[in-house]
Each structure stands twice: as structure tokens, then as C-alpha cells.
């Protein structure tokens, strides 16, 4: 059980209506138990196409997982294709029907049970994993020791099926090793110099721990991947190795667990016991959303304001009308006063502000689309920067700017140690 | 020129590190000129795999677009695979080199021109589309009247290449058919019931109109895709079919043109000249971000606050301490007072509020993870609802709740017509 192939079924992905996030989730969950995704096929909901793709997938993979193409409407053909491919017939599964009935009952929708009854029909050779968050069951089939799972396409039904049922099943059935991964984020040392400094430590790593260097912008991520049959032991073992590593590069390490920049920020703020708040204009809430997307952020994030209307910048954040009139609302000066007002309003150690033009229309003061000023204020110190990103569309712009503000703040916090 | 196949090259997608957003963008741009994506292959960065997949792709598609696997820090296996597949050799392209040089010069990085020179080497038979936002050029190849384009993987380089260069090129070269798409958004009817109700209408649809069901949260989107050589006729034809559909499900239709719920809201607010503001807790800024993601939202969105810390709900939104003490911070009463305070603070017609526990840890008042109260306040009318979504992870929860709040508001605005 080493290689998996994913099949995403559905015209909503091929038509560009929906972004496929299931494959991403499944691939990263499989990686945690040491199974690598070698290929993803995204195909349309047609019986012949599904059968042909199952054939291709089983040629190269030990495990095939399909998502989508299961549901109560007429364009769902996955089940028929499964039955034909495995030379099976579709029959009513009593247990699945009872599960469906209980599910409908809990939701007070027994009136439409009959219409959804079809969902309880599955290939007779399949093993069913019940879906607790939707009506389409997950079906497992076996072919020459290889396995296939067919799941519905709705992400919040896919996640618990994979995490709570399929992963544990695979782990037990194939006595899969546990994989434990830690990421150490290093800044301010070129990759080649870093490799020199930690060479002895690297050579002394236990055999079950693999190290890789992942450069991301000006940061190098050191990834330790440990595998073994005892999860607790792996955790202790990697932590020990990281403790040996730290004295060698201490001043350059910005995080030892987290990977995403907002998680690194969270770790830093928690460690330094600092509080933070945001005052946004062009990022429209994306900055505070990124910060609050991290579990436990309520410990340091006090709150934020999105002052879209200019007069609200004056009223709520106390940006002076004189400054706005003199420098326009998209200016270094306004960014600074927004951060200052924000810090007072939320009474935090750190305040972040953004003011700019996300486009596609020009700002009211005629500033170019893609211009943004942002301020990072820590206690009574502050730094204001300008970005000009005219090639990004509105959502990408909001996201890019928010990422950059957080990355700059992380840089400052690390260097002030 | 009817069917396209996309090939996404790169281990960062297969490992679950990165979500593939390029395919989504490309598919929806191609759809607009009547080219259907029939398949997406996501594969690893290996010469043999790339060549085999190109072969498969050309068997079923008239147009093949690859993204990823091009760049200065990579092995550049895509280019080698291209040259081998098309039986070509890689040579220095003067025009591409001059473009690269000018690009580096504008960025003050002529010092690393030599290291990037390899980017100007392309298969000799290729037609180059210059990349204005990165160093890897886009290469077009031809095979028996079929076309392939190879693009870099960075989304903000892909978007302008596709939109500004490839789409116009294809439109002109192949005098393409028109495609007209309409989306009818339906709420309050389960997909299976909806399918029953509109079955006769669906069976009677003209052959050039395709229908699909796209469930999104508790909404079902019905997509009509019409193709033909007369754009005006297609518009009239789909409008006629929608007029036949509406009497069947009238009270459940919230929009017949716009697709994303935030765009539907924007259209409604603009039409009714209403202003709006938000007061968020558990959604952390996602709600205001969704509203501001729509171009032109500054006309109706005055601003928002994210009051994460309980005392800020009292200070900024004037939620009474008594209410918080009596009912706890995650309660119907606090949601109501938040909306009221928000409406006053931003002086808007409409105010939305959310308070809940996104998890994974319990809220400070011990409320269950996944519980949320939200209020929609319009002038002096308000409605407060409760949701319990314990199975969603933190980000999905923030997104689902925001979607639901906007959807409810849209429902109210539609019914008050």
C-alpha cells in the first residue's frame, strides 16, 4: 500500500465552477500515513469515462479514491460505473437504508426518505462506510488486493469520512507506520551556509528521520519526517533532535512546529505574550480572517475594524480629516494614523493597518489600482511600507497584501529577540 | 477546437501542499469561448510521465494546456519533455532573451540575468507568448492542427497569459461558437425534490442547452449552458427557458443571473440603494471579506468590526455587560445587541452580526464547538438564527457561516420585493 491515485468526478470542477479542495485534503491526509498520491484524474460524470479511468488508476495505484458523482440527482453515474467495472450489481443495503432513515429522521425530513432511498442501493460486493453528514454512503471495493473508495463530492462530507474512517481503516489493515512531521523555519541564512552549519547534526540523525530543505522566498523550511510504529516515540524523538539543532542556529529560527505564516505569527505572539489588532481598508477583512483562522488566536487577537467608508476612518480610528484632505486616503500618513487609532481602540501591543486600491475601479482619490500602504505598529515604534501589485485581481490582491503584512511582522518580531 | 485537456505538473499539488487554482481559472475562461475542458491530469514532474500524459491528452483533446514545471529553480523537465515529445530541440530564442533582459532590468536584477538565461531557451518549433509577470515564457506547439500551450505554475503569471494572450488568440484563430450561461439559484428545496419538480421542464430543454445541478451549502444552483453561433439568440433562448422554469419553483428562486451569493447580494443592495455593515466574532473577518470581494462593494459596504475580545463587544458595539453576564457571549441576545450596535456605529440600513465557537477548543463560556448565533438587522426589523455545525473545521466553519448569513439576507431581500 504505497501509491494512491485520486479520481475527481464532476463537471462542476471541469467547468471551472468549483475549485477541487478534496484532492488537496486527501493527499495531505494520506501523506501522514506514508501513502503518496502519484496522480490525480479529474473527469466528467460519464459511465465509460469513469470505467476507463478506474482501469488506468488501478494500473498504477494500490489505492484508488474517487470523489463526486454520487447524489440524488440524475447526473450521478459513478455507482453504475463502479458496478459495471467490478462486474457487480446494485442492490439495496439494509444497514445503509437504516442509517439513511435515522439520518433523515434526525433532520425531520422523513417525508423525503423515499426519494432518497436510491442512496441505499450500492454494489453488492462493496463494504459501506456510513456518511454521518450527508446521504451518499462511501463504498469500498477490492480488486486483487487493491482497494477503491468512492466518496461523495461535498468537502465537509469527505473530510470526516477520510479522517475518521478511511485513514484509521488503512492504518490498521496494512499495519502502516506512523509518520510524524515537524517543520523548522529558518530566516537570514542562505541554504548552502545553513547546510554547512548543521552538517554534523544532520549526519547524526537517526535512520528513521529524513531531513529536507524547502526554500520559500527568503525563508528555508527544514522538514523532519520520522516514521515508525509508535506515534508517541516519534514525537519525543523529533522534539529531541530539534532541541539539539536549536543551539546551532538559534537566532535564525522563527518557528519549530508551524508552517503557514499565520501559524508562525500565532506561535510568536503566544511566546512573547503580545496582543494584536487590525485596521483594514483594501484588504476588507482578509487580514483579520487570516489571523483568526489559527486555533487559539482569541488569546492574542483582540479585534479589528474594516473602515471601508472614508468617514469611518475618521470617526472610529480618529484619522484626522486634515491628513486625509492633505495626503488622500490611500497614503502613508493615513496608514500610520489608522494603526495608531487601532492600537488605542483595541488597547493592543501591536496594530496593523492597510489602505489601498484593490480595483478593478480606481480609488476615489484617483490612486492607481494595486497601490497599498500598510503600517506595522509595535508599542510606540512603527514602520510603513508601500506595495504596488497592479497585476493581481481583487481577491488575490487582498490575500497577497495580508500575507505580506503578516510576513513582515514575523520578520520584525524574530529580529527583536 | 472544442475539447481541451489540462495537465497540472508538480509534486506540490500531489503532496497536498498547494491547492490547484490554475485549472479552475483556465477552465472557466475557456468555457466563455465555448471550449470545454474534458479532463484534467495532475502529474509529477518527471519527463516520462509528462510525455505519456501529453500523448493521452492529445488523443482526446484538440487543445492541451500545461501549467507548472517551468522555472529557474526547477529541473525544467517540462521543457525537455516537450522537446522530446514534439521531436524538437531546445534553442536560445533571441526575442525571449531580450524580453527577459528587459524584465530583469526593470527589476534592477541584471546581476542574475546569466543565471536566468536558461529561461530563454525554448523548443525551436514553438511560438512564444511572453510572460510579463515572471521569467518563464509560455510556449505554443502545434501537432496535426491541435495546439498545446505550456505555462509556468504561478497563478498570477498564469492569469494574464490566459486572459490577455491565449484566449484572444484562440477566439480569432478558430472563429469560435458563442456560449451563454445562466445560473438560477434555488433555496429551500432539497436537490432530489427539485429534480422531481422540474423533471418535465428539463426533458423539454432544447438540445443546445445543457443543465446541471450544483449544490452549494443549502443552495442548489441550476446552470443552463447554451451554445450556438448567434449570441443574441442564445440569450433570448435561455431567458425563455428560465421564464418557463420560474412558475414551478418561484418562491425558492433567489437569483437568475449572478452566481456567487456575495455577488447576488451586491446586485440586490445596489438595486435597492441599501447600505450594510458587519459585526463579527467567530467568523473573524470572513463575512466582511466576502462582501468586499465584489468589485464596487465600497458603494454599499460602510465597514465592519471584528470584536474577538468580549470586552470589545461592550466597548465598541455597546453590548451591555448585563446581557453578556446573563446569557453568555455566545447567545441570541448578544448577537442581537451586536447588530444593533453595529448599525449605529456605521449608520447603515442593514447590519449583520455573528457570535459563536469556531473550535477546536470550547468557547470561554463553555458553549459547544460549532454553535453560532447570527442576527440580520434591516432598519428596525431583525431576525436572529442559530446554527450548529460541529463537523466543520475552523476555516470551513468561518466560511459556511458567512455564506449562510449572506444567503439568509438575500432570501429576506428577495421576499420583500
pLDDT band at B344 (very low <50, low <70, confident <90, very high): very high
Closest CA to A211 of A187, A244, A188: A244
Average pLDDT over residues B341-368: 87
Residue numbers in B near A60 (CB within 8 A): none
Predicted pLDDT at A218: 65
Those of residues 169-198 in B touching chain A at CB distance below 8 A are 190-193, 195-196
- Closest Cα in chain A, distance from residue B34 (Å): 11
Predicted pLDDT at A364: 61
The verdict on A68 touching B (C-beta cutoff 8 Å) is no
Q: Which residue in A has a C-alpha nearest to residue B32's C-alpha?
A: A15
Residue numbers in B near A77 (CB within 8 A): none
ipTM of the complex: 0.78
pLDDT band at B326 (very low <50, low <70, confident <90, very high): very high
d(CA A75, CA A47): 10
Is residue B411 predicted with pLDDT exceeding 90?
no
Give per-residue burial for A310-336: e unless 16+ CB within 10 Å, then b.
bebbbebbebeeebbeebbbbbebbbb
Cis peptide before A360 (omega within 30 of 0): yes
- Mutation pick from A22, A108, A153, A298 vs chain B, by most beta carbons of B within 10 Å, is A298
Show Cβ contacts of residue B368 under 8 Å, excluding neighbours closer than 6 positions.
Answer: B357, B362, B388, B390
Grid coordinates belonging to B188: 429551500
The verdict on A75 touching B (C-beta cutoff 8 Å) is yes
d(CA A162, CA A176): 16
- Closest Cα in chain A, distance from residue B87 (Å): 25
Predicted pLDDT at A1: 61
The verdict on B304 touching A (C-beta cutoff 8 Å) is yes
d(CA B261, CA B355): 21
Query: Which structural domains are found in chain A, ordered by start?
Result: 3-173 (3.40.980.10), 178-255 (3.30.70.2860), 261-415 (3.90.950.20)
Residue B251 belongs to what H/E stretch?
A: none
pLDDT band at B21 (very low <50, low <70, confident <90, very high): very high
Predicted pLDDT at A369: 85
Classify residue A213 by its DSSP letter. E
d(CA A404, CA A287): 10
The verdict on A284 touching B (C-beta cutoff 8 Å) is yes
Residue numbers in A near B59 (CB within 8 A): none
pLDDT in tens, B36-45: 999 999 999 8
Task: Name the residue among B18, B212, B289 with its Cβ closest to that of A284.
Answer: B289
Q: What is the DSSP string of B270-313?
A: HHHT--EEEEESTTTTHHHHHHHTSTTGGGTEEEEEEE-SHHHH
Those of residues 386-405 in B touching chain A at CB distance below 8 A are 391-396, 398, 400
pLDDT in tens, B235-272: 999 999 999 999 999 888 888 877 788 999 998 899 89
Those of residues 216-275 in A touching chain B at CB distance below 8 A are none
Classify residue A351 by its DSSP letter. E
Does B192 sit within 8 Å of A112, measured CB to CB?
A: yes
Per-residue pLDDT of chain A (417 residues; tens, 9 = 90+): 689 999 999 888 998 888 999 999 999 899 888 899 999 999 998 999 999 999 999 999 999 999 998 876 655 688 999 999 999 999 999 999 999 999 988 888 888 788 788 899 999 999 999 999 888 999 999 988 899 999 999 898 999 999 999 999 998 888 888 888 899 988 878 777 888 899 999 999 999 998 887 767 667 889 898 988 888 999 999 999 999 999 999 888 888 877 788 999 998 999 899 999 999 999 999 999 999 999 999 999 999 999 989 999 999 999 999 999 999 999 999 999 999 999 999 999 999 999 998 877 766 667 788 899 999 999 999 999 999 888 788 988 999 899 889 989 998 988 775
Predicted pLDDT at B72: 62
Residue B366 belongs to what H/E stretch?
A: none
Q: How far is CA B37 from CA A78, A319, B96, in A?
A: 19, 50, 29
d(CA B270, CA B32): 26
Tell me how many residue pairs between chain A and chain B have CB atoms under 8 A apart.
255
The verdict on B31 touching A (C-beta cutoff 8 Å) is yes
Q: Which residue in B has a C-alpha nearest to residue A305's C-alpha?
A: B305
Q: Which residue in A has a C-alpha nearest to residue B308's C-alpha?
A: A303
Q: Report whether A250 contacts A201 (CB < 8 A).
A: no
pLDDT in tens, B66-111: 999 886 655 578 899 999 999 999 999 999 999 999 998 888 878 8
Predicted pLDDT at B116: 81
Which residue reads 446581557 in cell numbers? B323
Grid coordinates belonging to A57: 488508476
Residue numbers in A near B212 (CB within 8 A): 11-12, 15, 75
Amino acid at each position: 500500500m504505497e501509491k494512491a491515485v485520486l479520481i475527481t468526478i464532476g463537471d462542476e470542477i471541469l467547468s471551472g465552477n468549483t475549485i477541487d479542495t478534496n484532492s488537496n485534503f486527501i493527499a495531505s491526509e494520506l501523506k501522514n500515513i506514508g501513502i503518496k498520491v502519484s496522480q490525480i484524474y479529474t473527469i466528467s460524470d460519464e459511465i465509460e469515462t469513469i470505467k476507463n479511468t478506474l482501469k488506468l488508476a488501478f494500473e498504477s495505484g494500490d489505492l484508488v479514491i474517487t470523489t463526486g458523482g454520487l447524489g440524488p440527482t440524475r447526473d450521478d453515474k459513478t455507482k453504475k460505473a463502479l458496478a459495471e467495472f467490478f462486474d457487480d450489481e446494485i442492490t439495496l443495503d439494509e444497514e445503509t437504508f437504516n442509517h439513511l432513515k435515522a439520518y433523515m429522521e434526525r433532520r425531520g425530513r422523513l417525508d423525503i426518505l423515499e426519494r432518497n432511498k436510491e442512496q441505499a442501493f450500492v454494489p453488492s460486493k462493496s463494504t459501506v462506510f456510513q456518511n454521518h453528514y450527508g446521504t451518499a454512503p462511501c463504498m469500498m471495493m477490492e480488486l486483487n488486493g487493491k482497494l477503491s473508495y468512492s466518496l461523495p463530492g461535498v468537502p465537509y462530507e469527505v473530510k470526516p469520512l477520510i479522517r475518521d474512517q478511511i485513514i484509521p481503516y488503512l492504518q490498521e489493515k496494512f499495519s502502516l507506520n506512523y509518520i510524524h512531521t515537524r517543520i523548522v523555519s529558518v530566516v537570514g541564512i542562505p541554504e548552502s551556509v545553513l547546510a554547512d552549519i548543521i552538517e554534523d547534526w544532520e549526519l547524526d540523525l537517526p535512520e528513521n528521520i529524513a531531513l529536507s530543505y524547502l526554500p520559500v522566498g527568503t525563508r528555508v523550511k527544514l522538514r523532519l519526517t520520522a516514521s515508525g510504529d509508535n506515534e508517541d516515540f516519534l514525537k519525543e524523538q523529533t522534539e529531541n533532535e530539534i532541541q539539539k539543532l536549536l543551539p546551532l542556529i538559534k537566532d535564525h529560527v522563527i518557528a519549530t512546529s508551524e508552517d503557514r505564516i499565520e501559524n508562525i505569527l500565532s506561535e510568536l505572539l503566544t511566546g512573547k505574550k503580545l496582543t494584536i489588532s487590525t485596521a483594514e481598508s483594501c484588504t476588507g477583512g482578509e487580514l483579520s480572517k487570516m489571523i483568526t483562522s489559527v486555533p487559539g488566536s482569541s488569546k492574542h487577537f483582540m479585534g479589528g475594524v474594516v473602515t471601508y467608508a472614508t468617514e469611518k476612518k475618521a470617526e472610529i480610528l480618529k484619522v484626522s480629516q486634515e491628513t486625509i484632505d492633505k495626503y488622500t486616503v490611500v497614503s502613508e500618513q493615513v496608514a500610520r494614523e489608522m494603526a495608531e487609532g487601532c492600537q488605542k481602540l483595541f488597547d493592543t501591543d501591536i496594530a496593523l493597518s492597510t489602505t489601498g486600491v484593490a480595483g478593478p475601479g480606481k480609488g476615489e482619490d484617483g490612486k492607481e489600482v494595486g497601490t497599498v500602504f500598510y503600517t506595522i505598529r509595535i508599542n510606540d515604534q512603527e514602520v510603513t511600507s508601500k506595495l504596488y501589485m497592479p497585476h493581481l485581481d481583487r481577491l488575490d490582491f487582498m490575500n497577497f497584501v495580508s500575507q505580506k503584512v503578516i510576513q513582515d511582522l514575523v520578520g520584525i518580531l524574530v529580529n527583536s529577540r
